[in-house]
Amino acid sequence: MAAVAAVSSAKRSLRAELKQRLRAMSAEERLRQSRLLAQKVIAHSQYQKSKRISIFLSMHDEIETEEIIRDIFQQGKTCFIPRYQFRSNHMDMVKLASPEEISSLPKTSWNIHQPGEDEVREEALSTGGLDLIFMPGLGFDKHGNRLGRGRGYYDAYLRRCLQQQDVPPYTMALAFREQICPQVPVDENDMKVDEVLYEESST
């Protein structure tokens, strides 16, 4: 038990440090790195060959995903976005009809647009799964370890993908340089990501 407590305390202090680092970034710098990453994504072979893609709608301290979402539609791929259930750690990936639709979706308490819980939408796993999942997070290391915000939505969703898909989705984290850590503390519930994309990454 002591080891578990140590990991959760290490996560807590790293989360606080990363939030501070992100708060210190200027809007211009966030935009500059977001644009650069959008170009990297669009040129990425995993993205190019993926047809069914899940992507998060950004909070103010995350890489801006709007440009990537527009490209998903331009390329004729299918786009899914998270719908979180706030009373649990359950999340679905539901189909987005168009980039324009985002601004008309209701906002959650986190100030993120998402379809209402009672609205019927196609869920990715019920219609064939996902090829690629873009992963948000607070911090990442170069080995694919991810520090989330502590609710476990993505870890639980990835487990469902692994149970329900023959071929697991490729997972790609989008990170500011400021979110790259020497080592992220993890426990056995944390799922690794296949690739962390940031300004200096090699792709």
- Tell me the residue length of the chain: 203
Instruction: Tell me the per-residue pLDDT of 123-145, one tens digit each, with 9 for 90 and over.
Output: 999 999 999 999 999 999 999 99
Report the pLDDT averaged over residues 149-178. Answer: 94
Three-state DSSP at 49 gives helix
Each residue's pLDDT tens digit, 9-50? 999 999 999 999 999 999 999 999 999 999 999 999 999 999
Integer-rounded Cα Rg, in Å, for the chain is: 16
Determine the pLDDT at residue 57.
Answer: 96
Secondary-structure class of domain 2-197 per CATH = alpha beta
Q: What are the φ/ψ torsions at residue 120 (nearest 5 degrees)?
A: -80, 120
Query: Please, which pLDDT band fits residue 88 given cuts at 50, 70 and 90?
Result: confident
Amino acid found at 8: S
Return mean pLDDT, the chain: 93
Domain residue spans in the chain?
2-197
Largest CA distance in the chain: 51
DSSP string over 57-81 = PPPTTS---HHHHHHHHHTT-EEEE
pLDDT surpasses 90 at 3: no
Question: Which of 83, 174, 163 shows the shortest CA–CA distance to 129?
Answer: 163
Q: How far apart are CA 203 and CA 201, in angstroms?
A: 6
Indicate the pTM of the whole model: 0.94
